[in-house]
Amino acid sequence: MKQYLVETETLTKAYPGESGGSPDLVVFENVNFRIKEGEFITCIGHSGCGKSTILNILAGLQSPSSGYSFLKGKEIKGPGLDRAVVFQGHSLLPWLTAYENVAFAVKSRWPDWTRQQVREHSLQYLDMVGLSGAVDRKPHQLSGGMKQRVGIARAFAMQSRLLLMDEPFGALDALTRGSIQEELVKICASTGQTVFMITHDVDEAILLSDRIFLMTNGPKANIAECVVVDIPKPRDRATIIHDQGYYTIRNHLVDFLVSRSRELSGATREVAKHEIRNESGALVYPPDVNPLKKAKAATLAAETV
């Protein structure tokens, strides 16, 4: 059996109702998914479906109401150095310089390292995100894009098993976002880092992901399917839009967000038991869907008719 890096089992998050009588607010329910080592996963869904909560549970910063999550077969019970997080805001410590921010994390990760080792390692990752010229600046002297770059450098420098990113580029303008995305593609290709990232941006998801988790609307949200992005790597922002499959996948995603995310939600339909566990009691995972294969099959069928 193939070993997965991350697995979740009937992950559920519910908040108790306001007064005694009102029912609990179930944000998401029975979420099962698996992530392989080295995979880049993005998670897309409307606001309120609990994407961030799932990420925080994987980070160990929040705990689920019920269900479990595992990292390399070990249950996640709290935050740890084996998972690095890039938060929505830049979350740099404003009283430290860019270098000190990265070094702070590096020192925590490897307490035994010498000053020289910490320095080399930190500078290497700052260089990787193109910030070698700004290492001694404080966060307020950096632009929004540069701050987020420092955050990414800090997260990658920790060389954690799993990198969690919560809408890392949400606050950036389109141009900056594009250039950082491109850097992220390169860094991931060279490091083979496993990433779980939340985004609202469909194009960003296609550019970066191996698989895209599509979440239905909350309350009672779930992962409806995992879209396999079957576009060869390394990808490039300029050329990927000319790829034949690009718009097939894009349309599939947009179609899901516009209509299917609501139809498939646990709030609008009864989720059958066999969708969570099969008759033998094994977990049922959301199906991998490959829109490109589907499209090919459809055209083949049309030609043969």
Partner 1 sequence: MNTTIKGYLFSVFLFVVFIIGWHFATYAPETTTSGTELSASQVEALVTSGLAEADARALTAAGLRFDQIEQIAGIGLSLAEIEMAGGIGSFGFTTGEGGAAETAVTGFPGPGQVGRVVFEQFSDPFYDKGPNDKGVLLQLLYSLRRVALGFGLALLVALPLGFLLGMSPVFKTALDPYIQILKPISPLAWMPLALYTIKDAEASSIFVIFICSIWPMLVNTSFGVASVKSDWVNLGRTLELSRFSLAFRIILPAAAPTIFTGMRISIGIAWLVIVAAEMLIGGTGIGYFVWNEWNGLNIDSMILAILVIGLVGFALDMSINLLLKKFAYES
Binding site for partner 1 (CB under 8 A): 59-61, 78-81, 83-85, 87, 89, 91, 93-95, 104-105, 108-109, 138-140
Strand pairing of 288-289 and 223-228?
Answer: parallel
List the structure tokens of 90.
């830049």
67 vs 139 by CB, closer to partner 1: 139
State the minimum distance, in angstroms, from the CB of residue 165 to partner 1: 13
Q: Angle, to 10 degrees, between the axis of helix 98-109 and the axis of helix 144-157? A: 20
State the minimum distance, in angstroms, from the CB of residue 95 to partner 1: 4
88 vs 124 by CB, closer to partner 1: 88
21 vs 78 by CB, closer to partner 1: 78
First to last CA, the chain: 40
68 vs 104 by CB, closer to partner 1: 104
SS3 119: helix
State the minimum distance, in angstroms, from the CB of residue 140 to partner 1: 4
51 vs 83 by CB, closer to partner 1: 83
Strand pairing of 194-198 and 40-44?
Answer: parallel
State the minimum distance, in angstroms, from the CB of residue 1 to partner 1: 30
State the minimum distance, in angstroms, from the CB of residue 56 to partner 1: 8
86 vs 264 by CB, closer to partner 1: 86
State the minimum distance, in angstroms, from the CB of residue 91 to partner 1: 4
Q: Is the bond leading into 79 cis (omega within 30 degrees of zero)?
A: no
State the minimum distance, in angstroms, from the CB of residue 117 to partner 1: 17
List the structure tokens of 198.
């939340």
What is the torsional sign of CA 237, 238, 243, 246?
A: positive
State the minimum distance, in angstroms, from the CB of residue 60 to partner 1: 8
144 vs 178 by CB, closer to partner 1: 144
107 vs 260 by CB, closer to partner 1: 107
CB 162 within 8 A of CB 194: yes
Give the C-alpha separation, 149 to 115, whole Å.
23
- Which residues, in sequence order, are bridge partners of residue 211? 41, 228
Give the C-alpha separation, 103 to 120, whole Å.
10
Of 165, 209, 215, whose CA–CA distance to 45 is shortest?
A: 215
CB 41 within 8 A of CB 48: no
List the structure tokens of 49.
């479906």
List the structure tokens of 260.
């299917």
